[in-house]
Amino acid sequence: MIGARKLPGVECAQVEYRKVVDYLLATAHPDGASKARFFLARGARSEAWEVFAKTLVEHARLNSVASVRDDPAGRARLFQVDCHVRMPDDSTPCIRTVWELRAGAACPRLVTAYPAA
């Protein structure tokens, strides 16, 4: 754990439409289906993807960075953020988000999100 370190650039963190709709909330996606079932059961909806995107940014804003590592290609740093967030259905599960901050960029981009075990 890195103390109370926050995600760099969290104020401009980016969550892309395709990441949410085509991956995190896509029950037919081979890698995203279990994530989709988890998030859909907690009120996330494709038609209101912006609400869920804001939830993921809020997760990064409220919780500390749990770990940092370089991506395998060395083009970015990956920041893992863990713990609770209020979901659209008002539940507060512990989730993990991973954010990518590319060299020279000011704003991190969401890589993935899933339930923390």
Taking only the tens place, the pLDDT of each residue in 10-37 is 999 999 999 999 999 999 999 999 999 9
Instruction: State pTM to two decimals.
Output: 0.94
Chain CA centroid to CA 32, Å: 13
Q: At residue 79, does pLDDT exceed 60?
A: yes
Provide the b/e sequence for 56-80 (b: ≥16 CB within 10 Å). Answer: bbebbeebebbeeeeeeeeebbbbb
Average pLDDT value for residue range 80-101: 97
Residue 3 pLDDT level (bands cut at 50, 70, 90)? low
How many angstroms separate the CA atoms of 31 and 24, rounded? 9
